[in-house]
Amino acid sequence: MTNNLEAQLLALQQEGEKAIAAAETLERLEELRVSYLGKKGQLGALLRSMGQMSAEERPKIGAIANTVKESLQTSLDQQRTTLEAAKIRSQLEAETLDVTMPGFYRPQGRIHPLNGIIDRALDIFVGMGYTVAEGPEMETDYYNFEALNTPPDHPARDMQDTFYLPDGNLLRTHTSSVQIRYMEKEEPPIRVVAPGRVYRRDNVDATHSAVFHQIELLAIDRGLTFTDLKGTIKVFLQEMFGELPIRFRASYFPFTEPSAEVDLQWNGRWLEVMGCGMVDPNVLKAVGYDPETYTGFAAGFGVERFAMVLHQIDDIRRLYASDLRFLQQF
């Protein structure tokens, strides 16, 4: 029996080394490893018959089995190294570039002036500790008006100003609705900036569009005052426009009290660039904040307005025309 098993082991070694040398892929090599040396492989099957041998025969067969196993493992390792090297060579050949071939010209893309203003403004506010928030462009009357202290008879609800939808919803007229949604989910203190597209029923001309972009900021905390608002706006405008004179004029917004317009002296004249104010206590109550404990301020501006001032663009419609001659200037 010993001679028969010894012959089978040597035959298995010879057969395995031949099959391994002929393997052309790493996948095939793994199949052979499992077939010969796996737990249920051919070598293991032969060795299970050693239980029927005498104590004198087992050491001899065990030594032969170890030799066969080591030989097959060595063959597997060598073939694996060969196949891996071949795979790398094949990959390098496939990825080789002919640097003598003529190239294809692809013009470099540019950042749209609106996107550039948005990115620049958000970088400034994020650097001041604000979190960027977004919300739906189709809004409910509650989030767009009621929660922002805008009563039903307010002019902003007029059909000439707002795009109402057949289901009773509307296209948001400002990104202030994002602030309401954010406050409903978060507890003070909060610092949030909300960029986005808004819609109003304006007649399109050189300075007006029915679709435009806003960025609004909101801060709620204990003890915030109008001085904090002025300081925040001053830092922001100086980062955007440089060291220029700024003034605040009393104004009115239904969701802030007191409210103000912010003007910037640009090229020798005053330009209105932002609206702002302290958050009205009714807005804080609408989201469950205690106005006796918390105060806050809000501000917002039109992105198109900033782009037209900074880039000296004379017509807002140029920003939407997709004219390469215009866009390549930026």
Q: Which residues are annotated as a binding site for Mg(2+)?
A: 257
- Which residues fall within 8 angstroms of residue 246, CB to CB, at 6 or more apart? 233, 234, 237, 262, 263, 264, 265
The alpha carbon of 80 is separated from its chain's Cα centroid by a whole number of angstroms, namely 42
**Alpha-carbon gap, residue 32 to 22, rounded angstroms:** 11
Specify the DSSP element, H or E, that contains 80.
helix 57-94
Let me know: does 202 contact 268? Beta carbons within 8 Å: no
Radius of gyration of the chain, Cα coordinates, nearest whole angstrom: 38
- Which residues fall within 8 angstroms of residue 210, CB to CB, at 6 or more apart? 199, 200, 201, 202, 204
Let me know: does 43 contact 72? Beta carbons within 8 Å: yes
Give the annotated binding-site residues: 257
**Which amino acid type is present at position 91?**
Q
Q: At what angle do helices 2-22 and 57-94 cross, to 10 degrees?
A: 0
Let me know: does 294 contact 283? Beta carbons within 8 Å: no
Closest CA to 310 of 245, 244, 266: 266
Specify the DSSP element, H or E, that contains 30.
helix 26-37
Q: Would you call 291 helix, strand, or coil by DSSP? A: coil
Let me know: does 49 contact 5? Beta carbons within 8 Å: yes
Residue 282 CB: number of other CB atoms within 10 A? Answer: 14
* Length of the chain in terms of residues written: 330
The alpha carbon of 74 is separated from its chain's Cα centroid by a whole number of angstroms, namely 49
